[in-house]
Structure 1
Amino acid sequence: MTGSSTPAEGLHGGFGNHFSSEAVPGALPQGRNSPQRAPFGLYAELLSGTAFTAPRHANQRTWLYRRQPSVRSGPYAPMAHALLKTGSKDGVDIPPDPLRWHPIPLANESLDFVDGLRTMVVNGDPDAQTGVAVHLYGASRPMGNRAFVDVDGELLLIPQEGALRVTTELGVLHAAPGEIVLLPRGMLFKVDPAVPGESVRGYVCENYGAAFRLPELGPIGSNGLANTRDFLAPHAAYDDGPAQPWELVRKFGGTLWRAPAQASPFNVVAWHGNLTPYVYDTRRFNTIGTVSFDHPDPSIFTVLTSPSDTPGWANCDFVIFPPRWMVAEDTFRPPWYHRNVMSECMGLVHGQYDAKEEGFRPGGLSLHNSMVPHGPDADAFNKASAAELAPRKLDNTLAFMVESRWRLRPTAFALNGGHLDKSYADCWAPLQDNFKV
C-alpha cells in the first residue's frame, strides 16, 4: 500500500486528538471539508462515530478523501459463522461458579482472522448499545481480498502469539504481543499475520457501549496510567494495485453479511479527524501502586474505560497487570480473596499471573461473574503468606481483565468445546480453617 507506515516510523500520537495525514502531498483539502471538487478527483466522505449533535468535546468523526466512495459495493447476503456470537441472547445460563479455560490450539484447517473468531463470553445488546463480548482469534493465513467492518461495536485486539499487520481505511498498524489495537465501530479493516506463513492467536474485546476512552485520574493527578501521546494512529495509505474483486464482510445486528466489491476498499488517500484506529504498547503504561501498605484495587491498572449511565459502574473496563514493583509493608501482596459487583473476564498474554501461578496459562481465559468468590490459589496463598516482604519486581508477565457491570454469559462453544477446565475449583481445595484462639 502506498503511504503505509509502522509505529516505529513516527505515527501520530495522542488518544482522542485531531489528526491529519495524506499519502499524496496536496490530497488533503485546506479550509473546507467538502469542496466542490476535492483534490486529485477524490471523493469526500465523513465517518461519524458519534451523533452529529454530541457535545464538541465528545464528538468523534473523520473526513476521508478516497478514490471511490464506500457506497460502491454489491448487495449484502447472509454469511454463516457458527462460532461468532453477539449479546446476552447468545449466552448460556450457568450457576454462579468460577470458570477457567485452557488455551485453545489453532484449528488444523487454514483460517483467516474472521473465520478463526470464537466467542467465549457475552452480555448486553448491540442494538441497545450496551454490553461487551470477549472472543478468541486464531489465524494461519492472511485475509487476502477480504475486508471486515463491525457495526455492532468497536474492537480491541490483544495479540497473544504472533505479530499482526492491521490494514485499516486510514492506514496500516503493526502490533506484537504486549501491544493492543483499537478499531472504531464502522471502520473497515483486515488482519493478517505480520510474518507470512506464521500462525497468530489472541483475544478480542468487542464493545457495544460508549466508545473506549482514558479513565479519569482523579486524586492521581495529571500523570500516570496510560498517556495520550502513546496511542499511535496510522499515516494515510492506499491500495494502488490494479482493480480486482474484493469481499466485504459486515457484522450488523449480531449477524455476518457479505457483499462483493470491484475494487479495494482501502483507497483513502488523505484524512483528518479524531475517529481513528490506534496501537498502544502496554510497556508504556505507568503503573501506580502503594508505597506503604495494602494491595490496591485492580482499577488502578485501567487502560481504557467504556462508561455506562451510572458513574463508576463501567459498561466495560480494560485493565492490565504488567510488570511492576511490589514494595508494600505488612501486606498480602497478591490480590486478596474477593467478591465484586463487576463481572471479570481475564486472559494471560505471557508469563504467570501472581494469583494463579499454576493452571492459568498464556492464551487461556477465566470468568468470575458478579459476586462469585475468587482469589489466589492455595499455593499462591501459602507462598505469599510466608514470603519475605522485601521489595520485589514482578517481571515477565502480562495479564489483562475485561470487566463489566453486567453478568457475562459463556457461549455453548465455551462450555462444550473441550477446553473448559473442569477441575478449576480444586485449586482452592487445600485451603484449611487455620483459626486459633
Structure 2
Amino acid sequence: MVLHAKGRYAKRAHFDIPEGLWEEEHGREGFFGPVSHLYRHHPPTGWTDIEGPMRPQAFNANKLPKTQQLGALPERVVMLYNDEVSMAVWRPASPPDHLFRNADGDELYFVHEGCGKLFTDFGPLNYCPGDYIVIPRGTTYQFAPTTPDNFFLIFEGKGLFREPDRGLLGQHALYDPTIIETPEPEPILETGTFQVKVKRLNQVTTITYPFHPLDVAGWKGDLTVWKISIHDICPVNCHRMHLPPSVHTTFVNDGFIICSFVPRPLETEPGAVKVPFFHRNIDYDEVLFYHDGDFFSRDGIGRGMVTFHPQGIHHGPHPKAIETTESKTDTNEVAVMMDTRQPLFVTQEAQQCGLADYWKSWQ
C-alpha cells in the first residue's frame, strides 16, 4: 500500500501536531500493521455520552473480597475472560492448606502485595511485590505467604508464556536473561495426608497422598517455573518520539500479550508528544492493572485499580495529563497491561467493584 498524506498533518508521527488539531492513530494488528494518523479538530474522547457494552470501564480490585484458599473455583476471582485468557485476582485470607495444579492453562502470577514462598515440583522460590512468576500447566504448587496482605494478579492462558522476540534490540534488551530465577530442587520428605486440588474444565478434583507430592530430588529440561521482577525491566526509550506500548511487551501467549510499564524519562525533544497518543486499537482489547506510582495519564486511578478499553472505542490521555505534561520530565508509574486479540467479557464480580462514571473522566 502506498503511503498518502492529505490536508493538514504532522510530518512526523507524534511530533509537532498542527496547532488546534488533535492526532489520532488508526492502526491494525495492534501497533504492528498498517496505520494512518488522523488530525482532528476535537479530541476523539470528547464525548457527552456512551451507551452500550463497549463503554470504557474501570474497577477497584482492592474491593474484591479476600478468599480462603486457592483451589475451589470461587476463591480465584475472575474479572475478565475470553476463550484464550482469563485475568483474576486472589487475595488469600489465610495460607492454603492444600496444593494446587492447573490442568486448564499456563499461569502468570503478578505479585501486587505481600511476600512469601512458592513451593513447586521444581523447588521453592521466594516472592515479593513486583515479581512475575510463570507456572507451566500441570505444575503442582503451593503458596506460603509470610505476610497477611498477599494480593496476586493471575493470568491464565491456553498457550505457553514466552519471552518476546527482541529483534534488533539484542538479547539483553528489556532485561538481562541471567536475572531469570528458576528453582533449585528441595524434596519435601514428609509423611501424612496431603491433598492436591486439580482444576480441569473449571472443575476441581482432589487427589490425596500419604506422602508429600513435592518430593522431586532433581530435574532437567526447559519447561519449569521461573521468575523475574518488574523492577529489573529496562524500558525501551526514545527521546525524540513517544513509542507505542507494544515495545514494553514482557510476555507473549496465544492470543494476548503482557506488557510492563516502569519508570522512564519522558521525551525531551521540543514538539514531541509526551503522553500516550489517542488511538482506538481496533484489533485488541486493552487492560491495565495499576501497581504503584503516579499514573499521570489516568486521572482518579490508583494502586490496585484496573482499566478496560474495548476494541473500537477511542482512548488516550485524560485532559489533566495533557495540561501537566510540559512540566514533567519522567514517569514513575508501574503498571501491567494485557492486550487480547479476542474481545473480553466482564464478570459480575468485576462489575460489583466497577467505577460507573469512569467513561466521563475525559470530559
Q: Same fold (TM over 0.5)?
A: yes
Matches within 5 A, 1:80-229: 95-105=53-63, 107=65, 111-114=68-71, 116-124=75-83, 131-144=84-97, 146-195=98-147, 198-209=148-159, 211-229=160-178
Consecutive unaligned residues of structure 2, counting only runs of 5 or more, are: 1-51
Shift in CA distance, 167/342, structure 1 to aligned 2, threshold 3 Å: same
Aligned position for 2:223? 275
SS in 1 for 2:62: coil
Matches within 5 A, 1:5-404: 95-105=53-63, 107=65, 111-114=68-71, 116-124=75-83, 131-144=84-97, 146-195=98-147, 198-209=148-159, 211-241=160-190, 243-292=191-240, 294-306=241-253, 308=254, 315-329=255-269, 330-340=271-281, 341-356=283-298, 358-384=299-325, 387-388=326-327, 392-395=329-332, 397-404=333-340
Partner Cα separation in structure 2 for residue 164 and residue 364 of structure 1: 23
Partner Cα separation in structure 2 for residue 106 and residue 117 of structure 1: 10
Partner Cα separation in structure 1 for residue 91 and residue 224 of structure 2: 25
What is the one-letter code of the residue matched to 1:138? R
Correspondence 1:422 to 2:341: no
Runs ≥4 residues deviating over 6 A = none
Partner Cα separation in structure 2 for residue 368 and residue 106 of structure 1: 20
Say whether the 8 Å CA contact 1:231–1:279 is kept in structure 2: yes
Identity of matched residues, %: 22
What is the one-letter code of the residue matched to 1:207? G
Say whether the 8 Å CA contact 2:242–2:267 is kept in structure 1: no
- Kindly state the Cα deviation for residue 388 of structure 1 after the two structures are TM-superposed: 4.1
Q: How many residues align?
A: 308
Say whether the 8 Å CA contact 1:184–1:276 is kept in structure 2: yes
Aligned position for 2:35? none
- Kindly state the Cα deviation for residue 324 of structure 1 after the two structures are TM-superposed: 1.1
State the Cα deviation string for residues 57-101 of structure 1 (Å, max 9, x = none).
xxxxxxxxxxxxxxxxxxxxxxxxxxxxxxxxxxxxx71111100
SS in 2 for 1:104: helix
State the Cα deviation string for residues 5-64 of structure 1 (Å, max 9, x = none).
xxxxxxxxxxxxxxxxxxxxxxxxxxxxxxxxxxxxxxxxxxxxxxxxxxxxxxxxxxxx
Partner Cα separation in structure 2 for residue 285 and residue 365 of structure 1: 21
State the Cα deviation string for residues 170-198 of structure 1 (Å, max 9, x = none).
11111111111110111000112133xx1
Say whether the 8 Å CA contact 1:140–1:193 is kept in structure 2: no
